[in-house]
Amino acid sequence: MIQVGLLTEEQKELLIGQQFMLDVYFNPIQDNNNNWIISIEEIGQCNNQFAWVKELELITYEPKITIDEK
Amino acid sequence: MANSNGWGDGAANNTIGWGQGANNTIGWGKSHSLSWAGLTDIVGTSTPAPVSDTDAQAFLTNAVITDTTQRDAINTLVIGLKADSLWTKMLAVYPFVGGLEATCKFNLKNPVDTNLGHRLIFTGGWTFSNNGIQPNGINTYANTFLTPNTHWTLGNSSVSTYSRTNNSEAGNLWGTRGGSSFTLLYSVLRDGTTSNCYHNANSTTGISPNPTTSAVNLISSRINSLNQIQGVNATNQTNSSTELQLSTYNIYLSAQNSSGTTINFSSRQLAFAHIGYGLTQAECTLLYNRIQTFQTTLGRQV
């Protein structure tokens, strides 16, 4: 099972558009339960002022089901 | 300066790297093996010899690629693309060498660090290695800043990726959509189940013969608006598929830019990608052969 970091709404807003390492950007997304999450790669590689993400609660990733409407 | 024994001090360790001599109680220097003699602050720099092709060298300089095997592979790739008259049909070529974001982001065709140069911007939890770029299939994509409606015209476009991962996911190797489904450009590649490809159209073209692995090089191309060419490794086919409209949103790698919302994340490691003008079936084969030679030189071929 894939683990991801659980974000609050406020934390999500803080991370949008921000880099977690040089030239690589956070991408908070919603899982199938509408939780805001980031990946463990972003957490593990973060080396700047957002290092607080390393303290995030880890939850099991449940991908959002998307339907590509034609 | 003379010491109490009348011997002169040895040369002190100094900024130009001369050795230290006397440093004991009688003014003799330590044995040679322990002395500073031989140490130097004069450090030479090693600049790799330039490769023969100036376009290749520009990329290697800007991406700071110093590994000789990688440098030679890039040089051979560019020379080969030019020999096959493919170089001028490329808008962006991403060879994914160097093992870092800072090296993998560069466009071989125009290796400047700008959106207009189509260097990649990576978002989400990517992992970079000498085998290429590894998305996580959760929230990763790479923005090419190439937009079909801006950079292509109907009947003249191509895109490819070299996947090193065999899995059955439904993630997109590349993708964009600008509102209407008529603009769909994406590819779904599975390992034995239905694989398909949309190329500026809302009707799919199934990839046939269906690949039994998704660890392949896949090319989609149009040289007219009535047909779509697909190349899976060295096997090409032309299918009837009417081109309808070009997306106004940037093409993403490893996901689909669906009118500004990113969907269909892929977890396949990519070792090459290109976006360019239309390629014939013969040109798809030439391109695949150059890519495969490149990958084999780097020891990461599939």
With CB atoms and an 8 Å threshold, state whether B124 touches A63: no
Phi (first) and psi of residue B199, to 5 degrees: -135, 90
- Dihedral sign for Cα B286, B290, B295, B297, please: positive
Q: Alpha-carbon distance B34 to B240, whole Å?
A: 79
Q: Alpha-carbon distance B74 to B272, whole Å?
A: 12
Q: Alpha-carbon distance B60 to B68, whole Å?
A: 11
Task: Answer whether B133's CB lies under 8 Å from B104's CB.
Answer: yes
Q: For testing the chain B interface, which of A41, A43, A60, A62 should be mutated: the one with the most B CBs within 10 Å?
A: A41
pLDDT of residue B12: 46
The residue with tokens 């937009």 is B147
For residue B302, is it within any domain?
Answer: no
**Which DSSP string do the residues of chain B spell out, in sequence order?**
-B-TTSPBP-PPP-TT-PPP-B-STTSPBPPTTTSSTT--S-----PPPPPS-HHHHHHHHHHT---HHHHHHHHHHHHHHHHTT-GGGEEEEE---SSSHHHHT--TTS--SSTTTT--EEESS-EEETTEEE--SSS-EEE----HHHH-BTTBEEEEEEE--------EEEEEE-SSGGG-EEEE--SSS--EEEESSSS-EE-SSPPS-S-SEEEEEESSSSEEEEEETTEEEEEE-------SSPPEESSEEETTEEE------EEEEEEES---HHHHHHHHHHHHHHHHHTT---
Other beta carbons within 10 angstroms of residue B39's beta carbon come to 11
Same domain membership, residue B66 and residue B38: no
Same domain membership, residue B178 and residue B91: yes
Q: Alpha-carbon distance B68 to B10, whole Å?
A: 44
pLDDT of residue B189: 78
For residue B211, is it within any domain?
Answer: yes
With CB atoms and an 8 Å threshold, state whether A66 touches B263: yes
Q: Alpha-carbon distance B257 to A23, whole Å?
A: 20
For residue B292, is it within any domain?
Answer: yes
A40 → closest Cβ in B122, B123, B125: B125
Q: How many domains does chain B have?
A: 2
Same domain membership, residue B78 and residue B8: no
Q: Alpha-carbon distance B155 to B279, whole Å?
A: 10
Distance between A52 CA and the closest CA of chain B, angstroms: 16
Same domain membership, residue B155 and residue B30: no
With CB atoms and an 8 Å threshold, state whether A25 touches B127: no
For residue B49, is it within any domain?
Answer: no
Q: Kindly state the average pLDDT of the residues A47-57.
A: 96
Q: What is the pLDDT along chain B (302 residues), one digit of tens a residue?
A: 444 444 444 444 444 444 444 444 544 444 444 444 455 555 556 789 999 999 999 999 999 999 999 999 999 999 999 999 999 999 999 999 999 999 999 999 999 999 999 999 999 999 999 999 999 999 999 999 999 999 999 999 999 999 999 988 889 999 999 988 888 898 887 766 778 889 999 876 778 778 888 999 999 999 999 999 999 999 999 999 999 999 999 999 999 999 999 999 999 999 999 999 999 999 999 999 999 999 999 999 99
pTM of the model: 0.86
Taking CA atoms, what residue in A is nearest to B258? A68
With CB atoms and an 8 Å threshold, state whether B102 touches A61: no
pLDDT of residue B34: 45
- Here the ipTM equals 0.93
Note down the domain range covering B267: 54-297
Per-residue pLDDT tens for B205-257?
778 778 888 999 999 999 999 999 999 999 999 999 999 999 999 999 999 99
For residue B23, is it within any domain?
Answer: yes
Distance between A29 CA and the closest CA of chain B, angstroms: 7
For residue B91, is it within any domain?
Answer: yes
A66 → closest Cβ in B102, B139, B264: B264
Q: Kindly state the average pLDDT of the residues A39-58.
A: 97
CATH code at position B179? 2.60.120.200
Q: Which residues of B touch A66 (CB under 8 A)?
A: 263-264
Same domain membership, residue B59 and residue B38: no
Q: Kindly state the average pLDDT of the residues A43-68.
A: 91
